[in-house]
């Protein structure tokens, strides 16, 4: 698979065709039936032009009567009914097969998207994945009304009509065949330009989705840092990029129309000239020439329709290749969970990491986290704490070195998401087999049982978008309870209690203690009171571990942590005095 930059892979044409052929397994008999019905209904539709030519010759010879006209009219009506019925059945069968195959691909896409390694999604940007599972799926599905009639009926019409021309008078078929290279050249031009334009248009849509998503997710940061205008310009620039490529696509369509009009004029002129020559030499009749012209006119519409459908088809194929690119990412892309050895849950050995082409944030980082112990990571902003958590969780892959961690590792950050659905569904995402008793026990352990008393329908209450609104503290309690039910071997809390404010800090700290009890825990602490309760403390600075030990050991050593703790204690004492004075 080809891949642009850090984007998710895009399947090549051969890979796309191979995957569609695989998905068609079990539907191929119906596809053959579609082909047979398409040829038969198209052949029936050739009757009107031929019988009109027959009538013209009878009229010129003076042998036509009322019976001849009635026979011709009856034949035309019967052919129209049979042709329409055959065409309708062909389109219905083709549509059912198309959407069945598309449904299978969509399920495969969603299944693979939900199990993609997090580092792939983070590196490509979630906007890319969202665009493929929304915009691209819509583009492929919306192409059905235009693509299916063309590929199931129009192609048959072209093939059968050329055969009819050859059977009528072979020079007419030769004359039209001489013009076909014009359409071939038009198609070659379009296929050289169209896929690139539509692929760029889809990529621009992904970039726009990423900008919008980042602005929504970072809404609080955008407001807090006064970045509203900057983010507005970023979204506008990305949207303008989509508009530019969309306009280029429309220009390609206009140029395609001009070339097709030229092909039509050339086709009609060629057949007329050949008809005149044949009639003048006595090798054909006016009726045969009339039938040939009607057949050519029947051909021009389908040919133009097929070419314009290729326009829709190219857009759909660009989206289809992007969908298949994600759906067929091999399972080997998932990093297998390694074991760190007896008594050690996490082991980082000479780990190096950088973001993109930037400088290394970590270089030869070494860290062991003993099994069953709770380790806190502290340091100033930008020290590398969150990056360390992401590397241990497997969201980011190290550039060098190895990371060993338990197979069941769960990361919770301060960005807690509440899914639209019932409270029960939200809590059992990681433990679908959990019973209501299990949920109640977990809520009791995290101190969130009181939440049930506030919800009108208990566990069945709809929360999230359009449902009962939860406060930040309640959402974080939900996330911690969800983790407790999932029962991971390693729980990573990346400032998971930071958003609730000091009012609920104690409550959430107790919930975090319950979640980490009896399991290996890594806590990215923003309050030193959290770090003090952990078994070990790791102090980071500029991507390096500068201190490592227990709270008492580090305070006694009088190093960086000791200074941080002294400042923390002084600030807390000052706040306490201010509180007593105010009271």
pLDDT class of 317 with cuts at 50, 70, 90: confident
Contact 192, 255 (CB under 8 A): no
What are the start-end ranges of the E strands in 427-549? 462-463, 490-494, 520-524, 536-541, 544-549
What is the mean pLDDT of the segment spanning 508-520?
85
Q: Classify residue 261 as exposed, middle or buried by CB count within 10 Å of its CB (0-12, 13-18, 19+).
A: exposed
Question: Band of the pLDDT at 554, cuts 50, 70, 90?
Answer: very high
**Residue length, the chain?**
583
What average pLDDT does the segment 469-492 reach?
A: 87
Check pLDDT > 70 for residue 63. yes
Task: Say how far apart CA 75 and CA 274 lie, in whole Å.
Answer: 28
Rg (CA), the chain: 35
Are 13-331 and 344-582 equal in CATH topology?
Answer: no
248-271 tens-digit pLDDT: 888 887 888 788 888 888 888 888
Residue in this structure with the two tokens 């990573």, named with its chain if needed: 492
Q: Decide: 525 and 364 in contact? Cβ < 8 Å.
A: no
- Centre a 10 Å sphere on the Cβ of residue 304 and count the other Cβ atoms it contains: 18
Q: What gap in Å lies between CA 354 and CA 288, rounded to an integer?
A: 76
Which range, of 53-62, 129-138, 143-152, 372-381, averages the lowest pLDDT? 143-152
Calpha distance 437→346 (Å, rounded): 32
Query: Residue 279 corresponds to which tokens in the numbers above?
Result: 């009639």
Contact 193, 248 (CB under 8 A): no
Instruction: Please say if the pLDDT value at position 236 is more than 60.
Output: yes
Element (H, E) at 258: helix 228-280
Instruction: Report residue 376's pLDDT band, with 50, 70 and 90 as the boundaries.
Output: very high
Cα–Cα dist 315/309, whole Å: 10
- Classify domain 344-582 at the CATH topology level: Rossmann fold (3.40.50)
CB 328 within 8 A of CB 115: no
Tell me the mean pLDDT in the region 21-37.
86
Output the average pLDDT for the chain. Answer: 81
Band the pLDDT of 5: cuts 50, 70, 90. Answer: very low
Residue 527 DSSP SS3: coil
d(CA 224, CA 231): 13
Give residue 3's pLDDT: 39
- What are the φ and ψ backbone dihedral angles of 491, each rounded to 5 degrees? -110, 125
Contact 401, 364 (CB under 8 A): yes
Question: CA torsion sign, 284 to 289 to 291 to 295?
Answer: positive
Average pLDDT over residues 184-205: 80
Helix (H, G, I), strand (E, B), or coil: what is residue 329?
coil
pLDDT at 56: 81
Give Cα 371 distance to the centre of its chain: 38
Q: pLDDT tens for residues 95-129?
A: 888 888 888 888 888 888 877 777 777 777 677 78
Please report the beta strands in 405-451, taking only residues with DSSP state E, as ranges in sequence order. Answer: 409-413, 421-422
The C-alpha torsion from 28 through 31 and 37 to 39, rounded to 10°, is -110
Looking at the chain, the whole-number percentage of residues with pLDDT higher than 90 is 7
Over residues 227-255, the mean pLDDT reads: 85
Superfamily grouping for domain 13-331: ABC transporter type 1, transmembrane domain (1.20.1560.10)
Asked if 374 contacts 97 with a C-beta cutoff of 8 angstroms, the reply is: no
| Residue showing tokens 């895009």 | 10
Q: Looking at the predicted structure, is the pLDDT value of residue 276 above 90?
A: no
Quote the pLDDT of residue 577: 58
Find all residues with CB under 8 Å of 247, minimum gap 6, and list them. none
Domain boundaries, the chain: 13-331, 344-582
Residue 377 banded pLDDT, cuts 50, 70, 90: very high
What is the band of 333 on the pLDDT scale with cuts at 50, 70, 90?
A: very low
**Tokens found for residue 106:** 């969509």
Tokens matching residue 187: 């198609």
Q: What is the C-alpha separation between 239 and 233, in angstroms, rounded?
A: 10
More confident residue, 358 or 308: 358
pLDDT over 70 at 340, yes or no: no
| Cα–Cα distance, 211 to 226 (Å, whole number) | 17
Q: What is the pLDDT of residue 2?
A: 39
- Residue 48: C-alpha distances to residues 70, 77, 84, 159 (Å): 13, 9, 13, 17
**97, 192, 196: which is closest to 147 by C-alpha?**
97
Lowest-pLDDT range of 68-77, 274-283, 463-472, 503-512:
503-512
The residue behind tokens 């060993």 is 404
At 47 the pLDDT is 79
Q: Which of 83-97, 331-345, 359-373, 502-516 has the lowest mean pLDDT?
A: 331-345
Lowest mean per-residue pLDDT among 109-113, 142-146, 240-244, 474-478: 142-146
Quick one: which of 133, 131, 147 has its CA closest to 99? 147
Relative orientation angle of helices 28-44 and 66-114, to the nearest 10 degrees: 160
Q: What's the whole-number mean pLDDT along residues 281-299? A: 81
Question: Cβ(511)–Cβ(539) under 8 Å?
Answer: no
pLDDT digits (tens, 9 = 90+) for 390-430: 899 888 888 888 888 888 888 888 777 788 888 898 889 88
Cross-strand bridge partners of residue 492: 411, 522
Considering the chain, what percentage of its residues have pLDDT values greater than 70?
92
pLDDT surpassing 50 at residue 1: no
């Amino acid at each position: 698979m080809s891949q642009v930059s850090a984007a998710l892979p895009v399947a090549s044409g051969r890979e796309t065709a191979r995957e569609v052929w695989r998905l068609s397994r079990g539907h191929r008999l119906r596809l053959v039936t579609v082909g047979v019905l398409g040829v038969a209904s198209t052949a029936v539709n050739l009757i009107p032009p031929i019988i009109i030519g027959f009538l013209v010759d009878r009229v010129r010879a003076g042998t036509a009567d009322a019976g001849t006209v009635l026979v011709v009219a009856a034949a035309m009506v019967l052919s129209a009914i049979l042709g329409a019925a055959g065409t309708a059945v062909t389109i219905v069968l083709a549509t059912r097969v198309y959407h069945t195959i598309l449904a299978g691909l969509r399920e495969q896409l969603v299944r693979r998207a939900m199990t993609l390694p997090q580092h792939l999604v983070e590196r490509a940007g979630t906007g890319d994945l969202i665009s493929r599972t929304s915009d691209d799926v819509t583009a492929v599905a919306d192409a059905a009304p235009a693509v299916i009639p063309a590929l199931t009926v129009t192609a048959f019409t072209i093939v059968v009509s050329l055969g009819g021309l050859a059977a009528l008078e072979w020079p007419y078929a030769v004359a039209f065949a001489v013009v076909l290279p014009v359409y071939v050249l038009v198609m070659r031009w379009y296929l050289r330009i169209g896929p690139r334009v539509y692929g760029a248009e889809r990529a621009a849509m992904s970039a726009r989705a990423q900008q919008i998503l980042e602005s929504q997710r970072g809404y609080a940061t955008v407001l807090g840092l006064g970045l509203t205008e900057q983010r507005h310009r970023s979204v506008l620039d990305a949207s303008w990029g989509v508009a530019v490529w969309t306009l280029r696509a429309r220009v390609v369509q206009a140029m395609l129309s001009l070339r097709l009009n030229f092909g039509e004029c050339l086709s009609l002129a060629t057949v007329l000239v050949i008809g005149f020559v044949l009639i003048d030499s006595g090798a054909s009749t006016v009726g045969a020439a009339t039938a040939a012209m009607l057949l050519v006119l029947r051909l021009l519409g389908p040919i133009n329709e097929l070419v314009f459908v290729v326009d829709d088809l190219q857009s759909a194929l660009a989206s289809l290749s992007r969908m298949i690119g994600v759906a067929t990412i091999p399972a080997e892309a998932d990093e297998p969970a390694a074991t760190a050895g007896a008594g050690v849950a996490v082991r980082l050995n000479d780990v190096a990491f950088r973001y993109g082409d930037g400088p290394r944030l970590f270089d030869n980082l070494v860290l062991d986290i003993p099994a069953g112990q709770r380790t806190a990571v502290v340091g100033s902003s930008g020290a590398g704490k969150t990056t360390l958590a992401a590397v241990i969780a497997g969201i980011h892959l190290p550039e060098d070195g190895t990371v060993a961690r338990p197979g069941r590792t769960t990361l919770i950050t301060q960005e807690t998401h509440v899914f639209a659905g019932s409270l029960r569904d939200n809590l059992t995402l990681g433990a679908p087999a959990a019973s209501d008793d299990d949920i109640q026990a977990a809520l009791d352990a995290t101190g969130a049982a009181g939440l049930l008393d506030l919800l009108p329908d208990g566990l069945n209450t709809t929360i999230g978008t359009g449902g009962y609104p939860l406060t930040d503290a309640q959402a974080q309690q939900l996330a911690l309870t969800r983790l407790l039910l999932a029962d991971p071997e390693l729980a990573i809390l990346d400032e998971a209690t930071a958003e609730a404010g000091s009012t609920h800090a104690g409550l959430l700290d107790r919930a975090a203690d319950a979640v980490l009890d009896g399991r290996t825990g890594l806590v990215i602490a923003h309050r030193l009171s959290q770090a003090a309760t952990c078994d070990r403390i790791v102090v980071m600075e500029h991507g390096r571990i500068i201190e490592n030990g227990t709270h008492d050991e580090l305070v006694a050593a009088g190093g960086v942590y000791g200074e941080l703790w002294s400042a923390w204690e002084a600030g807390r004492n000052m706040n306490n005095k201010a509180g007593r004075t105010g009271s």
